[in-house]
Amino acid sequence: MKDTLVSDGPEVTPSVRPQSDDGGAEAARRRKKLVTLTRPWLLLTPSLIVLVGLLLWPLIQVGKLSLQDYKVKFGGGEGTYIGFDHYKDLLTGDLLWKTVLPNTVFFALACVGLTVVLGTLVALLLNRLGPTWKLICSVSILAAWAMPAVTGTYVWIWLFSPEDGMISQVADSVGLIDAETTNWFTERLPFYGIATINVVHHGFPFVAITVLAGLLTIPKELYEAGEIDGANAWQRFWRITVPSIKPVFLVVTILSTIWDFKVFTQVFLMPGGSGSNPDVYNLGVYSYIEAFAKNDYGTGAAAAVLLTLLLLVITIVYIRTLFRQGEEDL
């Protein structure tokens, strides 16, 4: 695969262009070689400047900041190196271990699990529907997907809002809660429950559409053979579907994990999420509030570095998975 997918286009030209004399051919070949060598880098340079300047360099800066005591001065800022103090404070404090990390990790795990399961179920459903209903359902999951995180969050807040929110009123009318006194957003568990519904609603369409694309590649004969052998639907799913599109499942799971560990907007916009309720901090929100609400850029940076390291580990797993699934041309 390697040779057919990746080769440098212009190499074929010398053989089809008649050369006038040997010296010219030599010069032409040398020029060709130079072009072949520099062209990929010419094409890459603009992107590399942007990526290095705005993503990689700031990442190095945030590492530097996390080791500094950064003071905002008139017309700029000044950092003095203080070593690993921010990390020491962070890692020895209760807030990280009892609030921030559990919120981040359990929330991400719940979101990933529900997103992948629901996405897969919806993909299986779409695969069984006739063309009309398949179109209707596809458009409806596109609507969920297209809803921006910001507006989606406002709608879920509104649905669960105390007193007059639709879901609060329904829960009140069946006697589950008293809408006048219940505020879903003050306690950790209901707060993150609502955030989970929000993130899953926004995230499962990607899984559904990707898994559906995978399902379409499985030969129908496999299922017919399975049915003849007497396998029921459950067995056919685990013995045929799952092994056939295992790479698809791995990629959507890892991508969802990366995304759900860095959920920010959905938590930040919820009542109490922007700092007034420390019980609902996750790593991203904690970092942001330390930096921008408390002007403690160093602690904020240290928390950001922790989150980045966490995501780096997940990304390495992601990259290895891509390699292992026969990423022929990486």
Partner 1 sequence: MSVRRTTLASRVGLPVAVIALLVFTLFPVYWMVSTALDPKALTRGSDLLPSGVTFEHFDFVFDRGNFGQYLLNSAIVGIATIAAAAALSLFAAIAVARFKFKFRTSVLIMVLIVQMVPLEALVIPLFIQMRDFEMLNSLLGLSVVYIALSLPFAIWTLRGFVAAVPKEVEEAAYIDGASWFRMFWSVLLPLVGPGLVATSIFAFITAWNEFVFAYTFMKGSDKYTAAVGIFQFFGENTTSWGPVMASSTLVTLPVMIFFVIVHRRLGSGLAAGAVKG
Query: Over the range 259-276, which residues count as b (16 or more CB within 10 Å of their CB) and which as e?
Result: bbbebbbbbbbbbbbbbe
Least distance (Å) between residue 97 CB and partner 1: 20
Distance between terminal CA atoms of the chain? 11
Q: Which amino acid is at 53?
A: G
Least distance (Å) between residue 239 CB and partner 1: 16
Least distance (Å) between residue 1 CB and partner 1: 10
Least distance (Å) between residue 222 CB and partner 1: 10
Closest CB to partner 1 among residues 80, 276: 276
Are 210 and 122 a contacting pair, CB within 8 Å? no
Closest CB to partner 1 among residues 153, 192: 153
Closest CB to partner 1 among residues 67, 291: 291
Reported residue count of the chain is: 330
Are 156 and 198 a contacting pair, CB within 8 Å? yes
Closest CB to partner 1 among residues 192, 256: 256
- Within a 10 A sphere around the Cβ of 161, how many other Cβ atoms? 18
What letter does residue 71 receive in the DSSP assignment? E
Closest CB to partner 1 among residues 165, 177: 165
Least distance (Å) between residue 46 CB and partner 1: 5
Half-sphere exposure of 100 (CA within 13 A, CB side): 25
